[in-house]
C-alpha cells in the first residue's frame, strides 16, 4: 500500500493545531487545513504489512478499510478514498476529529516507528468530500412499511437510524435535548467538533427520509410503552449519562459541578447567543480545579481557558504514564503513554506549565461559613493508590469540575418498560442480536455496555441496525 519504501523515507508529521495562544481566544475548531502533498506523503508511509492490525479488534472497531484509503490518498484518488471510507463509517467527520485513534496504536509500523497519521487522513478525506459536493443524500428506492423508533441521537442512534433507513424502514429519532446529536452536540465542545458539522450531516439524513423529533424525553414526556405498541421495533441508544460523583465532605453547595453540567451549558449558550445570555457556568477570573483526566477533563480545561480562568489545576489519581510503552503494554494494545492534548498545551501556554498533578486523591472541599467554595484538600497516593502520610496539601479553588467518567444509563426508561438491567446498571441486551428482555425493544452502545468511544457507539449502532433489519425482514443485506 502507498509507496513501497515510503515508511523508510518519510517521517510521521501530523497536521498541526492552530497556535495555542491564538485558538484560546475563540471556540472555533483547533485544527488547521492540511496540505494535499503532505497528506499524500503521510499516506505513502502505510506499509503493505500483510495483516493490517489497524483494522483489527485492537485497532478500528468499525474495521475501516484504512490501508485502502491511505493508498488512494497517496495516489490522489480522493473520490475513491471517500467511497471506501463510507463503506464502514457513516460519520468520518466525527471520528476523524474526536476519536483517540486506536487504529494508530495498532499500526504495524508503530512496532518500530511512529505510526501512520491515520486520523488526519480520515478527516481530510471526508472534508474533501463535502468541499467537492460528493456527499449527497441517498434516499432508499423502496420502503418496507416497517417503522422503527430510535431513542437517543448520539453516534449510536444516528448510525443505527442511517443504516435502518438505507434498508428502507421508516425511522423516527427521539431526542430529549433541543438539538440533535447527543454527546456529539453537547458533550464535546465546539473547538473540537464544530456543531455545523453535525447539523450538516443531520440535514442529509433528514433529506434521506429520517424523522427527527427534539424535546422528546422518552420515559417522562413520551410514554415508552406507547412507542413499543406503535412501532415495529424500538432501539434504546440513550448513552451512559449517570456521571461518577465525588461524595467527600463539602461536596454539597455552589462551585462544584459535574463536567457535563459545565460543558453542556457552555455549548448551549454558545449556540444560542455566543455566550451573551450568560446561561452557563463561567470560569472567568476563577481558580479552577478539574478532577479527573481523559478527553472530558481536557475539554473542561480548554473551555475554562477560553472563559479566562485565573488559574488551572488538573488532578489525576494515577501516576504519570511513561513516555514509551511499558513491558506490560505491548503492541498492538492501546499505548498507555504520556500525551499532551490540546487543553494541556493551551494551559502551558497561558500559565507556563502543564496543569496536571499526578497521584492526587481529593479528600474534602473547603467552604467558608456562608458555603462559598474556597479550596480542595488532597493527599498524595502511591502506585497502589495508598495514601502517603504527611503528603496533605490544600489547593485554592473557586470552581471544581468533576470529570471521572460515567457509570450507567438513567433508569426511568427501563423502569417504565420493566426492562432488565445488569449488575452494573446497564440495560441487559444480547451481545449478538441486541434484544432486551422486552419484546421489540433493543439496546446498543453505552447504555448496554458502559461508557466507551464514539467509534464503538457508531459500530454498535450499525450492528444493532443489521439485527433489527434481520428480525423484521427475515434477512439483512446491511453490512
Segment 10-58, tens digit of pLDDT: 999 999 999 999 999 999 999 999 999 999 999 999 998 889 999 988 8
What are the pLDDT digits (tens) for 382-400?
A: 999 999 999 999 999 999 9
**How far is the CA of 366 from the CAs of 281, 392, 441, in angstroms?**
20, 14, 47
**Chain-centre distance of CA 370, in angstroms?**
38
pLDDT score of 294 more than 80 = yes
Mean pLDDT value across residues 186-210: 98
Looking at the chain, the domain(s) classified CATH 3.50.50.60 span 147-241+407-473, 245-404
Topology classification of domain 6-131: Fumarate Reductase Iron-sulfur Protein; Chain B, domain 2 (1.10.1060)
pLDDT score of 368 more than 70 = yes
- Give the burial string for 19-42 (b: 16+ CB within 10 Å, else e): ebeebbeebebbbeebeeeebbbb
pLDDT band at 280 (very low <50, low <70, confident <90, very high): very high
Q: What is the DSSP string of 269-292?
A: HHHHHTTTT--S---TT-EEEEE-
- Residue 412's pLDDT is what? 97
Asked if the bond preceding 332 is cis, omega within 30° of 0, the reply is yes
- Work out the percent of the chain whose per-residue pLDDT is above 70: 100
Mean pLDDT value across residues 398-403: 98
Looking at the chain, the domain(s) classified CATH 1.10.1060.10 span 6-131
Mean pLDDT value across residues 240-260: 97
| Alpha helices (H) along 308-453 | 342-351, 412-417, 446-449
Matching residue, cell 486506536:
102
- Are the C-beta atoms of 31 and 15 separated by less than 8 Å? yes
pLDDT band at 3 (very low <50, low <70, confident <90, very high): confident
Please give the CATH number for the structural domain made up of 147-241+407-473. Answer: 3.50.50.60
The residue with greater pLDDT, 1 or 89, is 89
Q: Does domain 245-404 have CATH number 1.10.3720.10?
A: no
- Give me the chain's average pLDDT, please: 97
CA atoms of 9 and 26, how far apart (whole Å): 38
- Are the C-beta atoms of 337 and 323 separated by less than 8 Å? yes
- Residue 1's pLDDT is what? 61
pLDDT score of 373 more than 90 = yes
What are the pLDDT digits (tens) for 57-68?
A: 889 999 999 999
- Are the C-beta atoms of 397 and 255 separated by less than 8 Å? yes
CA atoms of 464 and 435, how far apart (whole Å): 9
Mean pLDDT value across residues 458-465: 98
Q: Look up residue 255 and give its DSSP letter.
A: T
CA atoms of 388 and 201, how far apart (whole Å): 51
- Residue 50's pLDDT is what? 86
CA atoms of 479 and 475, how far apart (whole Å): 12
How many CB atoms neighbour CB 109 within 10 A? Answer: 18
- Give the burial string for 70-101 (b: 16+ CB within 10 Å, else e): bbbbbeeebebbbbbbbebbbbbbbbbbbbbb
Mean pLDDT value across residues 274-286: 98
Amino acid at each position: 500500500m502507498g509507496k513501497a519504501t515510503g515508511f523508510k523515507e518519510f517521517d510521521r508529521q501530523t497536521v498541526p493545531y492552530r497556535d495555542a495562544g491564538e485558538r484560546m481566544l475563540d471556540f472555533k475548531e483547533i485544527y488547521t487545513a492540511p496540505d494535499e502533498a503532505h497528506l499524500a506523503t503521510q499516506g505513502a508511509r502505510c506499509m503493505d504489512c500483510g495483516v493490517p492490525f489497524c483494522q483489527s479488534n485492537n485497532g478500528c472497531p468499525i474495521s475501516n478499510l484504512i490501508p485502502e484509503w491511505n493508498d488512494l490518498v497517496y495516489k490522489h484518488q480522493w473520490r475513491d478514498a471517500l467511497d471506501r471510507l463510507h463503506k464502514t463509517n457513516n460519520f468520518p467527520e466525527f471520528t476523524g476529529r474526536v476519536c483517540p485513534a486506536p487504529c494508530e496504536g495498532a499500526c504495524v509500523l508503530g512496532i518500530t516507528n511512529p505510526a501512520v497519521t491515520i486520523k488526519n487522513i480520515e478527516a481530510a478525506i471526508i472534508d474533501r468530500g463535502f468541499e467537492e459536493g460528493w456527499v449527497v443524500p441517498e434516499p432508499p428506492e423502496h420502503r418496507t412499511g416497517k417503522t422503527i423508533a430510535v431513542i437517543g441521537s448520539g453516534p449510536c442512534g444516528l448510525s443505527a437510524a442511517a443504516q435502518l433507513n438505507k434498508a428502507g424502514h421508516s425511522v423516527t429519532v427521539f431526542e430529549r435535548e433541543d438539538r440533535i446529536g447527543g454527546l456529539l452536540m453537547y458533550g464535546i465542545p465546539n473547538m473540537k467538533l464544530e456543531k455545523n458539522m453535525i447539523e450538516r450531516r443531520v440535514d442529509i439524513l433528514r433529506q434521506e427520509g429520517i424523522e427527527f423529533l427534539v424535546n422528546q424525553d422518552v420515559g417522562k414526556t413520551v410514554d415508552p410503552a406507547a412507542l413499543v405498541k406503535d412501532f415495529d421495533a424500538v432501539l434504546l441508544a440513550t448513552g451512559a449519562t449517570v456521571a461518577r460523583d465525588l461524595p467527600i465532605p463539602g461536596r454539597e453547595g455552589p462551585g462544584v459541578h459535574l463536567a457535563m453540567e459545565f460543558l453542556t451549558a457552555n455549548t448551549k449558550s454558545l449556540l444560542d447567543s455566543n455566550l451573551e445570555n450568560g446561561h452557563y457556568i463561567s470560569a472567568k477570573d476563577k481558580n479552577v480545579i478539574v478532577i479527573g483526566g481523559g478527553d472530558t477533563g481536557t475539554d473542561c480545561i480548554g473551555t475554562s481557558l477560553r472563559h479566562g480562568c485565573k488559574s488551572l489545576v488538573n488532578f489525576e489519581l494515577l501516576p504519570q504514564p511513561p513516555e514509551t510503552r511499558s513491558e506490560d503494554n505491548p503492541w498492538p494494545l492501546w499505548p498507555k503513554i504520556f500525551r499532551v492534548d490540546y487543553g494541556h498545551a493551551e494551559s502551558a501556554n497561558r500559565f507556563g506549565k502543564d496543569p496536571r498533578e499526578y497521584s492526587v486523591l481529593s479528600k474534602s472541599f473547603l467552604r467558608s461559613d456562608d458555603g462559598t467554595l474556597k479550596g480542595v484538600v488532597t493527599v498524595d497516593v502511591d502506585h497502589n493508590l495508598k495514601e502517603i502520610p504527611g503528603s496533605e496539601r490544600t489547593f485554592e479553588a473557586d470552581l471544581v469540575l468533576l470529570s471521572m467518567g460515567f457509570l450507567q444509563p438513567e433508569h426511568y426508561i427501563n423502569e417504565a418498560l420493566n426492562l432488565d438491567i445488569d449488575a452494573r446498571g446497564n440495560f441487559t441486551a444480547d451481545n449478538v442480536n441486541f434484544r432486551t428482555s422486552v419484546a421489540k425493544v433493543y439496546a446498543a452502545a453505552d447504555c448496554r455496555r458502559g461508557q466507551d468511544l464514539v467509534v464503538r457507539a457508531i459500530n454498535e449502532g450499525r450492528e444493532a441496525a443489521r439485527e433489527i433489519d434481520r428480525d423484521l425482514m427475515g434477512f439483512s443485506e446491511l453490512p
